Chain A
Amino acid sequence: VTERYLILGAALFAIGLYGMIARRNLLIVLMSLELMLNAVNLTFVAYARQLGNLDGHVFFLMVMAVAAAEIAVGLSIVIAIFRLKRSVDTAEMSELKG
């Protein structure tokens, strides 16, 4: 019964991966990242239930805290980039290209 939760997590992870690779809007890339983190969290919880061990739940909380911090910093980077370039298109951020 646990396998279907794992499959659901894998499906959401794959969808998030597609969003990260194929989209150029920085905000949607960040949203896809959140989706991937959530997919992994679901896998943690499914395995915690399967093994009867609460370590997975603690990891869920840690990942959630890191995700919240990451989104706060990521969105302020988005604001800084938007002020600089008037755009959030990832393909236009090529200053580091040699």
Chain B
Amino acid sequence: MGELVFWTCAGVAIASALMVVTRRNPMYAAFYLVVAFLALAASLVPLDATFLAVMHLLVYTGAIMVLFLFIIMLLNLGTVEGDHEYPFRFRLFAALLSAAIFALFAYAFGRSPLGPPPSVPEEFGRVEGVGSHLFRAFVLPFELVSALILAAIFGTVVLARRKERIES
């Protein structure tokens, strides 16, 4: 069962990720990214990370991608982009560079086999396990995240505000 889930998710995720980076229209790219995120969230389940899978769905597919789609529609960029691409030679260079990075990672991961994963307690990866670990060992980072999000809210409001006086 885990095998089937993994190979399906891996195929869908890689195919749609490739579509994301090759589409002209950012609207299509955003929809393919939604598919990639769905596959990634599903691939977390065989790793006993059910809570994270649900959180991934909520935050990425539910919030971040909706924000992306709103912005693309708001700016009406669907048809703006025409032939504004880097020359083919540069893109080929970038593809070779990425392939080299991938080969490096794959070599490093394949060199030292990890063996079968250990058996874990029942609450591993569920709300109970992750929550108690978060609030016991990582309280300070958790609190600091609230400061970060507050700063992000201020930054967003300031940056996106229309400055009539300066523009005119």
Query: B25-61 interface mask toward A, CB cutoff 8 Å, 1 = contact, 0 = none?
Result: 0100110010011001001100111011001100110
B134 adjacent to A61 (CB under 8 Å): yes
What is the distance, in angstroms, from A47's C-beta to the closest C-beta of chain B?
9
Q: Is the interface of A mostly helix, strand, loop or mixed?
A: helix
Closest residue on chain A to residue B119 by CB atoms: A52
B56 adjacent to A64 (CB under 8 Å): yes
Residues in A with CB closer than 8 Å to B40 are 12, 38, 42
**A 37-65 contacts with B by CB, 8 A:** 38, 41-42, 45-46, 48-52, 54-55, 57-58, 60-62, 64-65
How many inter-chain residue pairs (CB < 8 Å) link A and B?
Answer: 224
A61 adjacent to B55 (CB under 8 Å): yes
Chain B: interface residue total (CB-CB under 8 A): 81
B20 adjacent to A18 (CB under 8 Å): no
What is the distance, in angstroms, from A2's C-beta to the closest C-beta of chain B?
5
Query: A13-43 interface mask toward B, CB cutoff 8 Å, 1 = contact, 0 = none?
Result: 1111111011111011011101100100110
What is the distance, in angstroms, from B152's C-beta to the closest C-beta of chain A?
4
Bound-state Cα–Cα, A6 to B118, Å: 17
B10 adjacent to A69 (CB under 8 Å): no
Q: Assign chain A's interface to a size class.
A: 35 or more
A18 adjacent to B29 (CB under 8 Å): no
What is the distance, in angstroms, from B37's C-beta to the closest C-beta of chain A?
7
Bound-state Cα–Cα, A65 to B142, Å: 10
Bound-state Cα–Cα, A55 to B95, Å: 33
Known: A5-B43, A58-B134, A71-B67. A76 touches B85 (CB 8 A): no
Cβ-neighbour of B109 out of A6, A73, A80 (below 8 A): A6
Closest residue on chain B to residue A84 by CB atoms: B167
Bound-state Cα–Cα, A68 to B51, Å: 18
User: For the complex, is B159 an interface residue (Cβ under 8 Å from A)?
Assistant: yes
B152 adjacent to A88 (CB under 8 Å): no
A8 adjacent to B10 (CB under 8 Å): yes
Cβ-neighbour of A71 out of B64, B124, B138, B151 (below 8 A): B64
Residues in A with CB closer than 8 Å to B110 are 3, 7
- Closest A-B pairs by Cβ, 5 of them: A19-B21, A10-B105, A69-B152, A14-B102, A22-B94
Task: List 11 A–B pairs whose Cβ atoms lie within 8 Å, in order of A's numbering.
Answer: A2-B117, A6-B105, A14-B102, A25-B84, A28-B23, A38-B40, A52-B120, A54-B130, A58-B134, A68-B63, A78-B75
